[in-house]
């Protein structure tokens, strides 16, 4: 993937990994459009930066995605990269009947969101030079966190979807999957300062090093994420399952 001279759309760009990627790509000379559900954090992401735009978009709303795609492509017909970053994570107790609102929200945001965004932009992107679609799964796609079952399942699904998408778009649009380890962001309460989680800027430094490689790796797996990504092939899955999910 080319890392400068692009026009990049990042969902969930008002905080965490999305904001940090927006800044790094903007620093490298890209036009960056950040989206999310709240204008305040998006405006903070932009600050005094040039060549950045903020737009409200709830990726759980299919009608909003369609009208957003029409308007953004009218204003930015050169758009060539989509980064599907928006996501939510909730813990769940599955041992008795419960309100499934959280589970449904995770499927809608983390899985249907990227499916709908890709659908809305794929024809445009496939016709653009140097186009790319980036997905963000998780180390939990490969070893589930028992306390976050639906979240882990949506990320496993995003990994699978990325594999198929890459083959269908080969020769037209690059598909790159970022597989983060646990990173200090506000994804869950207390996570931004949790010991043992990778500091956000360290993580994004490592991600940008991978983006600079030629060709760009199909999967961006920083050092800390490899133990989960490769658990099955390294025959460490049962050990990792136990380590990640102590009783």
Residue positions annotated with a catalytic role: 151
Please spell the DSSP secondary structure of 47-63, one letter per residue.
TT-SSEEEEE--TT-HH
Contact 124, 72 (CB under 8 A): no
| Whole-angstrom distance, CA of residue 119 vs CA of residue 69 | 10
CB of 22 to ligand NAP, least distance (A): 10
- Choose between 35 and 128: whose C-beta lies nearer to ligand NAP: 35
CB of 197 to ligand NAP, least distance (A): 6
- Choose between 128 and 221: whose C-beta lies nearer to ligand NAP: 221
CB of 101 to ligand NAP, least distance (A): 13
Residue linked to tokens 């890209």? 30
Reduced 3-state DSSP string for 124-164 = HHHCCCCEEEEEECCHHHCCCCCCCHHHHHHHHHHHHHHHH
Measure the N-to-C terminal CA separation of the chain; round to a whole number of Å.
42
- Choose between 80 and 109: whose C-beta lies nearer to ligand NAP: 109
CB of 174 to ligand NAP, least distance (A): 19
Binding site for ligand NAP (CB under 6 A): 11-12, 14-18, 36-38, 41, 57-60, 85-89, 109, 136, 138, 180, 182-183, 185-187
What does each C-alpha distance from 170 to 129, 162, 177 come to in angstroms?
Answer: 13, 12, 14
Instruction: Count the Cβ atoms, other than its own, within 10 Å of residue 24.
Output: 18
- Choose between 28 and 88: whose C-beta lies nearer to ligand NAP: 88
């Amino acid at each position: 993937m080319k890392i400068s001279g692009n026009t990049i759309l990042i969902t969930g760009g008002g905080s965490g990994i999305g904001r940090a990627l927006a800044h790094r790509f903007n620093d490298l000379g890209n036009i960056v459009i950040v989206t999310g559900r709240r204008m305040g954090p998006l405006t903070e992401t932009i600050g005094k930066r040039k060549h950045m735009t903020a737009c409200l978009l709830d990726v759980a709303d299919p009608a909003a995605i369609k009208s957003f795609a029409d308007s953004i492509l009218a204003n930015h017909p050169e758009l060539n990269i989509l980064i599907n970053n928006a996501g939510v994570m909730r813990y769940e107790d599955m041992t008795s009947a419960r309100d499934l609102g959280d589970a449904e929200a995770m499927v809608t945001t983390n899985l249907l969101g990227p499916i709908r965004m890709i659908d809305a932009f794929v024809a445009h992107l496939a016709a653009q030079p140097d186009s790319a679609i980036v997905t963000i799964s998780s180390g939990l796609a490969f070893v589930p966190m028992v306390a976050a079952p639906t979240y882990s399942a949506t990320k496993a699904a995003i990994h699978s979807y990325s594999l198929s998408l890459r083959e269908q778009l080969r020769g037209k649009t690059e598909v790159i999957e970022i597989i983060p380890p646990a990173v200090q962001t506000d994804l869950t309460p207390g996570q931004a300062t949790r010991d043992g989680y990778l500091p956000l800027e360290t993580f994004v430094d490592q991600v940008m090093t991978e983006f600079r490689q030629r060709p760009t790796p199909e999967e961006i797996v920083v050092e800390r994420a490899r133990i989960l990504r490769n658990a099955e092939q390294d025959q460490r899955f049962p050990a990792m399952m136990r380590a990640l999910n102590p009783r």
